[in-house]
Amino acid sequence: MSHSPTNQSPTNQSPTNQSPTNQSPTNQSPTNQSPTNQSPTSTETPAHTTAAAPSALSAARTTATAARVLRQLRHDPRTIALMILIPCLMLILLRYVFDASPRTFDNIGASLLGIFPLITMFLVTSIATLRERTSGTLERLLALPLGKADVIAGYALAFGALAVVQSALATGLAVWLLGLDVTGSPWLLLLVALLDALLGTALGLFVSAFAASEFQAVQFMPAVIFPQLLLCGLFTPRSDMHPALEAVSDVLPMSYAVDGMNEVLHHTDMTATFVRDVLIVAGCALLVLGLGAATLRRRTA
């Protein structure tokens, strides 16, 4: 282990100094050069190093971030109560709205089990990360030896844990107390619900980059979620829609979330369609998480 050649005593060096992403100071990417840069000395040391490779995911830093997010939520018990209770209350409401037609409740209820976690996690994540961006804590974090992947994974882990509790309660309530008639295993319902929650977290993280205020962040909910809600097959089968809309619904991830729920509802085994649906939802979540990571900038104007 070598130290940087400073006149500081070695005890001042934190062990994290030896980052694997070290760049030589002369290592320069073309993007470091601004067209306005006419300084003759600029070639030796660029002041601009956005091209630094992102730090590798660190398990300790990711779990520390997740624990911090959960600790923040713990100081806000009302939000936790709302997140966990509202889906349950909506399911109870729905059950008695369709009191005379339990078949309808089966269909809509199963779909909603997948949609609730997506919406809640979308809202919570977009507001939480927006706060992180506007309060300056994100800038501070990114000036520390923390990888962007650590931030994203920390949030996904914390809200994922919360989503497990929310989905487990809602699924348990629907299946055992409200008599939701599922042919397949309730565990598969839970799996889809969890992936939906992850997708919601990913979407929330992504759109928070485009919101300048909490007002805007909340408005992104109808913009991002409502079209998917209308097109996902909840109100009418997707095959009955205008062909153009059906094509659009084919590329929206929520359609596959609802499809997956319905597969579990009607089939005892894991069908090929179910596996496809699960993979698509998971893939979309990962893709959007990656896009979300790209919106975290160490350097801002």
How crowded is residue 287: how many other Cβ atoms within 10 Å of its Cβ?
14
* Half-sphere exposure (Cβ direction) of 190: Cα atoms closer than 13 Å: 17
Options 108, 121, 141, 189; binder of another protein; rule CB under 8 A: 141
Q: Closer to another protein by CB, 118 or 205: give it.
A: 205
Stretch that binds another protein, among 14-22, 102-110, 197-205, 230-238 (CB under 8 A): 14-22
Stretch that binds another protein, among 10-18, 106-114, 116-124, 276-284 (CB under 8 A): 10-18
Taking each helix axis from N to C end, the angle separating 272-294 and 253-266, rounded to the nearest 10 degrees, works out to 150
Q: Report helix, strand or coil for 264.
A: helix
Gap between the Cα atoms of 216 and 239, Å rounded: 34
Options 30, 39, 100, 242; binder of another protein; rule CB under 8 A: 39
Amino acid residing at 125: T
Report the site for another protein in 95-134 (rule: CB under 8 A). Answer: none
Residues 171/238/119/139 CA torsion (nearest 10 deg): 130
Residues 52/126/77/197 CA torsion (nearest 10 deg): -90
Report the site for another protein in 241-300 (rule: CB under 8 A). Answer: 297-300
Report the site for another protein in 43-82 (rule: CB under 8 A). Answer: 44-50, 52, 55, 58, 60-61, 64-65, 67-68, 71-72, 75-76
Report how far apart, in Å, the C-alpha atoms of 286 and of each of 8, 56, 199, 249, 280 are. Answer: 43, 17, 8, 19, 10
Least distance from another protein to the Cβ atom of residue 145, Å: 4
Structural contact between residues 111 and 234, judged by C-beta atoms closer than 8 angstroms = yes
Least distance from another protein to the Cβ atom of residue 128, Å: 10
Q: Closer to another protein by CB, 123 or 175: give it.
A: 123
Gap between the Cα atoms of 153 and 123, Å rounded: 17
Is residue 31 a contact residue for another protein (CB under 8 A)? no
Options 82, 92, 102, 145; binder of another protein; rule CB under 8 A: 145
Is residue 213 a contact residue for another protein (CB under 8 A)? no
Options 99, 104, 127, 144; binder of another protein; rule CB under 8 A: 144
Options 29, 31, 34, 236; binder of another protein; rule CB under 8 A: 34
Residues 286/288/292/295 CA torsion (nearest 10 deg): 130
Instruction: Write out the residues near another protein by the rule CB under 8 A.
Output: 2-9, 11-19, 21-25, 34, 36-37, 39, 41-42, 44-50, 52, 55, 58, 60-61, 64-65, 67-68, 71-72, 75-76, 135-137, 139-146, 297-301
